[in-house]
Amino acid sequence: MERRQAMLGLGYLAAGVRRAIPGTPFEFRVIEENVPQAAEQFKPQLAGISFVSQNTPIALRYAEEFERRRIPVVMGGAHISVLPRCLPRSALAACLGEGEQTFAELVQTVMGGKTDGQTLKTIPGIAYWEGATFVQNADRPCLADLDTLPFPDRSLFPIYTHTPIFTSRGCPYRCAFCASTRFWDKVRFHSADYIAAEIELLARQYGVNFISLYDDLFIARLERIETLIRLLEKRGLLNRIGFSCNCRANLVNRNLAALLVRLGVKYVTMGLESGDDQILRYLKGDNVTVAQNREAVRILREHGLKVNAYFIIGAPRETGAQIMNTYNFIRQNKPDLVEVNILTPFPGTPVWEYAKGRNLVAEESFDWTKLNTCICGPADKFILISEVLTHDAFVGFYKKMRRLQFRRNLLGICRHPMLSDIARMLINIIAQYCRQWLRLAARPRPMAAEKPAPDPV
């Protein structure tokens, strides 16, 4: 299925390998569907599988497919980094945490033909099985200077006029539900010069005119934004490219909003999470309040910025009345786009530890597909960690919130910068289903068996 945005993590890995092993021609391919057939045709020397927790069964199935073809498998991403023992014994190794250097060393190891335990133990930042023994090497320190990274290899995926970039890794806050802040052990930033150079490359080489800044918290350093504005102005790019970014309500003020407008930001995404102070403290700590959420929406909209707001329901002690506080917050403050999610226990987070203590989740023999932040299939296909609401009562509140989400988004999308993306996504989805239908229609149909002749009378 075609994605709306490029998978930059894989682009960074490919670029890291090319830089670490110069002069060697590599052919990388990103495969998301028909993996067995693609593997049979491409016959790679090494397969890398990056996955999130809820896709664990798919990742393990793909690992088996590659192992059956005697292709070494390296697994990476947030899930395997937090729970490395999930690594199947058939896989070569798990790449834990920040992967560019580690993956490049694993590629060199495979190219050298030495993948025994004696060789693997020299590579920091990996885990592997040596027979029946699980081995986890010492951690690899994160890069001290992100500017040493090459730009991601964008030849691996389509580049649209709206594309993302990362300008930092990590977040200074540690929300109870967030796995990202556990994956990155500290916050690091690209310099404004590095960011400006990547933006110029995207604008001039790929014709990009809108960039989503995918950082957990792009606004963490105001002086970096000010420098970036000056650099883009020097390059003749200021006001030629639109941006979106993530904000945090307690950091929003008029000075920040004015800076974002000068940069060319058109819409801002904020995890407001709740319209109830008690639940907000559980989810995000003592550094943000409902009043600050309300003020942040007001200031940003006052400056002409669209506001995308995310909310979470289903905290352990959240009552129906507190969910309705969030419902009323959305109605009264009218963010342009809304998304309401279920509090889901992802590995490595405090919410995971809480759910594990109540035997709602487990590291082994667990249905990972239940880690859904929304109900998009069977009504029991999610983890409910509420202590005060029954399953049916919670589903009722969830459906009420989603109806409000639908109404808000129906009103907001018509005037939103994401409108062109939505249209392209719909076209891609329709095209995908048409391709599937054509493939099914082209299959030979089994002939119906002839009816036996009746017995003579």
Residue-by-residue DSSP string for 357-374: HTTS--SSS--GGG--SS
pTM, rounded to two decimals: 0.88
From residue 350, alpha-carbon distances to 178, 262, 354, 385 in Å are: 9, 38, 6, 13
Q: Closest by alpha carbon to 200, among 227, 232, 168, 223?
A: 232
> pLDDT means per 10 residues in the chain (457 residues)?
65 96 91 83 91 93 91 95 94 95 96 90 96 95 95 92 94 91 86 98 96 94 97 96 96 97 97 98 96 98 96 98 98 96 96 96 92 85 96 96 93 73 60 58 44 32
Could you give the CA distance from residue 168 to residue 159 in angstroms, rounded to a whole number? 21
Could you give the CA distance from residue 322 to residue 95 in angstroms, rounded to a whole number? 41
Q: What is the DSSP letter of 148?
A: G
Site of tokens 């995890």: 271
Helices (H) and strands (E) in the chain, counts: 16, 13
Predicted pLDDT of residue 435: 59
Same topology for domains 8-136 and 159-421, yes or no? no
Contacts 24+ apart (CB under 8 A), 375-382: 375/342, 382/342, 382/344
Predicted pLDDT of residue 427: 64
Helices 277-284/290-302 angle, 10° precision? 90
Residue 59 backbone phi and psi in degrees, to 5? -60, -40
Residue 275 backbone phi and psi in degrees, to 5? -100, 15
Q: What is the CATH number of domain 8-136?
A: 3.40.50.280
Predicted pLDDT of residue 183: 83
**In the chain, where are the structural domains located?**
8-136, 159-421
* Cβ atoms 362, 356 nearer than 8 A: yes
Ramachandran category for residue 206: left, alpha or beta (phi over 0 → left; psi -120 to 50 → alpha): alpha
CA atoms within 13 A on the CB side of 290: 18
Interior angle at CA 243, CA 246 and CA 145, nearest 5:
65
Ramachandran category for residue 426: left, alpha or beta (phi over 0 → left; psi -120 to 50 → alpha): alpha
CATH fold label, 159-421: TIM Barrel (3.20.20)
Could you give the CA distance from residue 291 to residue 295 in angstroms, rounded to a whole number? 6
Residue 255 backbone phi and psi in degrees, to 5? -65, -45
